[in-house]
Amino acid sequence: MTNKGSGSQHIPALVGLGVILLAAVLVILLRGSDGAFGDSRLATLALAQATVTDAVRVLETHSDEAYAELKSAAQRLGAVDTRGLTSAQSSAIRSLQSHASTLQDGRDAHATLAAANQSLDQIVPIVIDRANILEQAAIVQNRSIVAAQLERMRMLASGIRRDTASLTRGGSVPAITSQNMLDADMAMAQIVRGFEEGDPVLGLRAVSDGEALEALSALRDATARLGDAVRDVLAVADQLGAESALRQQLLTVSAELS
């Protein structure tokens, strides 16, 4: 569940900036002296490059403004006359339209991811606090085993929060990260059940005294809320995965439009 170094995280942003600058230069060069585009072929290619720019901006920011600009550009691109373009350029425009649609479809997925990330920022500290309380309350248990399992729970909860934040930044592979989150959530549920019912594999016995039962109930509620946030992320993992390869595909489209 660890992240790559900060240097590697800046590479996609630099590449995206390069695409934006390239498209901007092309648009300027292709404008006529009176501000209108020249022939329809050049206008189409300039619009396509501008759409690439908008798509990269969506990948970088996921802002409402970026989505609106991409939607507008994609609509204009859908109405252009592609006669006069090479077959490779026409194919690139069709690919670009498909990529733009994928990004638009992913808007709700990113809203869900952002909401889950915000929820986890609130829930994970609660889980950690409830685990601390249970550790102090479970006095009839083997102290070292209780401490080890609850420390494991705290680490799992913190790892889920880091993974969700990494997905929000685009710094991890959605399929791998979402599976890690699911595994962590299941492991936390097993620990809670161990305190409820006993678990010889984990070395836990069911708690029975009132203070420990109250602490366990609070921990169960907190981990259930955390699990809800994890399932929200898992529900959009496929859509996030569909976007993960788009950056390189957009660079390919940009090259084919040249």
pLDDT (tens digit per residue) in 26-58:
544 444 434 443 478 888 999 999 999 999 999
Q: pLDDT of 163-203, one tens digit each?
A: 999 998 888 899 999 999 999 999 999 999 999 999 999 99
Say if CB 37 and CB 30 are below 8 A apart.
Answer: yes
Q: Enumerate the domain spans of the chain.
A: 6-106+243-257, 108-235
pLDDT at 138 over 90: no
Residues 6+ apart with CB under 8 A from 84: 39, 40, 41
pLDDT at 15: 55
The C-alpha torsion from 127 through 191 and 211 to 160, rounded to 10°, is 0
pLDDT at 243 over 80: yes
Q: pLDDT of 67-125, one tens digit each?
A: 999 999 999 999 888 888 899 999 999 999 999 999 998 999 999 999 999 999 999 99
Among residues 54, 67, 144, the alpha carbon closest in space to that of 105 is found at 67
Domain 108-235: CATH superfamily, name plus number? Alpha-catenin/vinculin-like (1.20.120.230)
